[in-house]
Amino acid sequence: MKILVNGQLVERNEASIDVEDRGYQFGDGIYEVIRVYKGILFGLREHAERLFRSAAEIGISLPFSLEDLEWDLQKLVQENAVSDGAVYIQTTRGVAPRKHQYEAGLEPQTTAYTFSVKKPEQEQAYGVSAITDEDLRWLRCDIKSLNLLYNVMAKQKAYEAGAFEGILIRDGIVTEGTSSNVYAVLNGTVRTHPANRMILNGITRKNILDLIVKNGIELDEKPVTEEELRQADEIFISSTTAEIISVVTLDGKSVGSGVPGPVTKQLQAAFQECIQQAARVSF
């Protein structure tokens, strides 16, 4: 199995990370997860652009072009003969003696590897349970930063409670999941938090918002209150690996009728069509 280290494909067991890498020590870096369907990187351009945006927001100047990155990731997927799976890519600020501040001229370290993904078919078909939790993260959730400590803590809490996801609430407002975006269907309108500093602007989210409009469903990018969430007809979450999954139980109580609702199912079908089209167009 090959991995990508600063543009070079190397055997995974031949690569090493310096203990003074700032990503390792401070979480000083950024990442992306990109799904591969039939060997095609889904939404590659959008993910590459978001990596560049995250880098710029934390003052990392990436030493390669968007096209170089796309080419390298495609090479990696081909080399590892990935059909259905995903790519994880991260860039750290570089290696330097451990000090919080840094000097100019560090060399960003970019690594990427492929892994297999099992499509969560059962979860998509029957829905999952979620718990709510307080959103105690920092206020730049729009940056896809390696600092995921609170996301990890909240996901672990959900996991230990037997739930699939933790839905985060800040000051009475639903922001997003620990590793997903969150939507509520209220009187036929899909509501989701606007893309500002409080959430990660998911690539899946962007696709879903397009599909909502194309399918003539009402959309309102207006924050959902905790009270509204508890009264929602439907709740669903989205991410690169989850795609679209219905939340049928929230904090132990049924959501709506307790099964995946019609709007969620319509969007799930539209999203599958979108994936198939992307694979067809690229061949």
Q: Whole-number minimum distance, CB 257 to ligand PDD, in Å?
A: 26
Which is the catalytic residue, given 118, 119, 144, 157? 144
Query: Active-site residue 144, yes or no?
Result: yes
| Residue nearer to ligand PDD on the CB measure, 95 or 114 | 114
Nearest residue to ligand PDD, by Cβ distance, number only: 202
246 beta partners: 236
Cβ 88 to ligand PDD shortest distance, Å: 8
Alpha helices in 6-43 (DSSP H): 22-26
Helix (H) or strand (E) holding 185: strand 181-186
Nearer to ligand PDD, 52 or 95 (CB): 52
| CA pair distance 69, 63, nearest whole angstrom | 10
- What's the rounded Cα separation, in Å, for the pair 63 and 47? 17
| Site of interaction with ligand PDD (CB under 6 A) | 33, 151, 176, 179-181, 200, 202-205, 238-241
Q: How far is the CB of 218 from ligand PDD (least distance, A)?
A: 22
Helices vs strands, H then E, count in the chain: 8, 16
Assigned token pair, 138: 């920092």
Length of the chain: 283
CA 146 vs. chain centroid, Å, equals: 12
Coil, strand or helix at 146: coil
Quick one: 109 or 151, whose CB is closer to ligand PDD? 151
State which residue, 98 or 118, has the beta carbon closest to ligand PDD.
118
259 — phi, psi (to 5°)? -130, 160
- Output 95 or 236, the one with its CB closest to ligand PDD: 236
Cα separation, 29 vs 40, in Å, equals 26
Q: Give the nearest distance from C-beta 227 to ligand PDD in angstroms.
A: 22
Contact between 179 and 155 (Cβ < 8 Å): yes
Q: Are strands 218-220 and 189-192 parallel, antiparallel or unpaired?
A: parallel
Are 110 and 90 within 8 A, CB to CB?
Answer: yes
13 DSSP 8-state letter: G
B/e letters for 153-186, b = 16+ CB within 10 Å, e = fewer, are ebbeebeeeebbbbbbbbeebbbbbbbbbbbbbb
Pick 3 or 86: Cβ nearer ligand PDD: 86
CB of 181: closest distance to ligand PDD in angstroms?
A: 5
Q: Which residues are designated catalytic?
A: 144
